[in-house]
Amino acid sequence: MDDTATHMSPQEQIASPRRAPSQRRSRERVERMLAAASALIAEQGSDAMRMGEVAERAGVSIGSLYQFFPDKRAIIWALAERYTAESQACISAALAGVSDAEGLGQAFSELVDIYYALFLAEPVMRDIWSGTQADKALRQLELADSRANAEFLTKVLKRLHPSADPVALDTSALLVWQMGEAAMRLAISVERQEGDRLVAAYKRMALRELLDR
């Protein structure tokens, strides 16, 4: 039986370099592989991680690892996909019930704080995020993620501003999310106090763009 998934997300369709398992046993092996890779990245960074180490820690043969992940880049891609899917689910849930400007301000501010806290706490996420900047395909994945998140925000803006230009709303939403990515990178690259100030400043600027209409 072909072990390749028949349905792929828009992000996966960009240029996913890995096979996606459909059988339960294969999915369990892949989960062990990704857990092993994540632990190794947390310990030593993705640059130092080796495929043989991933296979050994996951308790699988190197051939089994290569069956699903032809190289280290494919592992990084899979972890990036996972984090983007989790973030999109969180953002979608947080914005789904927003019906007024006050609710949007509160939900957006809380989402930014959650995102910032995750990147401060998760070295794997920081490592993967930094790695996207050197990989064109991963930058495309990040842009697809920003567009998906912007769509959630656009839906809220259209509810709050039904007479506004929809193209302008789309543009503002995408710009806010993309600027948020840049703001987070800057915030986690400096001392914590300065990072906190940068995140707070970003939230103020973003909310002015979203709410002052």
pLDDT digits (tens, 9 = 90+) for 102-148: 999 999 999 999 989 988 888 787 787 776 666 777 778 788 888 99
Distance CA 116, CA 118 (A): 5
Distance CA 180, CA 44 (A): 27
SS3 content of the chain, % helix, strand, coil (to 5): 75, 0, 25
The pTM (predicted TM-score) of the whole model is 0.75
- Grouped pLDDT means (10 residues each) for the chain, 213 residues: 40 48 77 94 89 96 93 88 87 92 95 90 78 73 87 94 94 93 90 97 95 79
pLDDT at site 32: 95
pLDDT at site 168: 94
pLDDT at site 15: 43
To 10 degrees, the CA torsion angle through 59, 20, 31, 135? 90
pLDDT at site 142: 80
pLDDT at site 141: 79
